[in-house]
Amino acid sequence: MSAAAEAHGHGHGHGDANLHPPPIHYSSRIAPQIVGIFLFIGSEIMLFGSFFTVYFFDRVVNNTHPWPPIDPSTGHQFERPWFVALVNTCILVTSSFTMHWATVSIKRNHRAGLQAGMVLTILLGLTFLLTQVIEYHRLGFNTGDTSFAATFFGLTGLHGCHVFIGLVILTVMAVRAFRGHFSPEHHHGIEVGGIYWHFVDVMWIVVYVTVYIL
């Protein structure tokens, strides 16, 4: 019969034990990888929040009438291409579907579904980005044309950057999927990438409603 205490808490005031960091103490409620992506998304929300703050400051505090304001170069209101953006929204929402399909497929050990889901998600993401670039070219105004234009490009451009980063992540995931890296038991790479992609989708819905519709 013996009793033994584990080493937690040792080292306070015991010579060189203080040279080492304390033992890791973390909750088992949630996997560290998920905590990581959650913190990352938290910081992203703060980043988008700062851009939205600028947008609403310009819109509400500056009290610009009408909204969108008058373009000084043409004398007409700025036009927001809400219909093209709506099509783009549908494309991005569809990509969330294909992403979810990919995740469900690997959970069911359906590798072809995973690969097809990843490829379709990447293609839809690329289409979204390409459409946005074309939309920028046809807008008729640029970042320097009033604060409205600056905030418009700021918010949509920030989101576009996130889509680009998401596409890089998706590409890595797809390459790994084609190399047979994931399994029903081990697919954190897909899970975490999927969470990021859905987050990008959620942010676009907020950006679309705020910038193009309201």
Partner 1 sequence: MRNPFRTEEEAFRFVWLTILYSGLIVAGSFINAWVGLGVFVVETAAVSWWILSRGRRERPVRQIPPPHPEGERRILVVANETVGGAELLDEIRRRSQGVKEHVLVVVPALNSPLKHWTSDEDDAREAAQQRLEASLAAMRKSGIEARGEVGDSDPLQAIEDAIRTFAPDELIISTHPPERSHWLERNVVGSARERFALPVTHVVVARAEAGVPAGPEQAPSR
CB of 184 to partner 1, least distance (A): 14
What's the rounded Cα separation, in Å, for the pair 46 and 172? 26
Nearer to partner 1, 150 or 176 (CB): 176
Nearer to partner 1, 143 or 183 (CB): 183
CB of 20 to partner 1, least distance (A): 14
CB of 97 to partner 1, least distance (A): 8
Nearer to partner 1, 129 or 192 (CB): 192
What's the rounded Cα separation, in Å, for the pair 202 and 109? 28
Contact between residue 157 and residue 57 where contact means Cβ atoms under 8 Å apart: no
Nearer to partner 1, 62 or 73 (CB): 62
- The residue whose two tokens read 């990888």 is 33
What sign does the dihedral 207-210-211-213 (CA atoms) show? positive
Residues comprising the chain, all counted:
214
CB of 212 to partner 1, least distance (A): 10
- The residue whose two tokens read 């038991």 is 185
Nearer to partner 1, 55 or 141 (CB): 55
Structure tokens that stand for 108 in this block: 């069911």
CB of 148 to partner 1, least distance (A): 18
The residues that touch partner 1, with contacts defined as CB under 8 A, are 1-6, 8-10, 12, 22, 25, 27-30, 34, 37-38, 41, 93, 96, 99-100, 103, 190-191, 194-195, 198-199, 201-202, 205-206, 209, 213-214
Burial 106-115 (b: 16+ CB within 10 A, else e): bbeebeebbb
CB of 157 to partner 1, least distance (A): 21
What's the rounded Cα separation, in Å, for the pair 13 and 2? 27
What sign does the dihedral 35-40-46-51 (CA atoms) show? negative
Nearer to partner 1, 165 or 205 (CB): 205
What sign does the dihedral 107-113-116-117 (CA atoms) show? negative
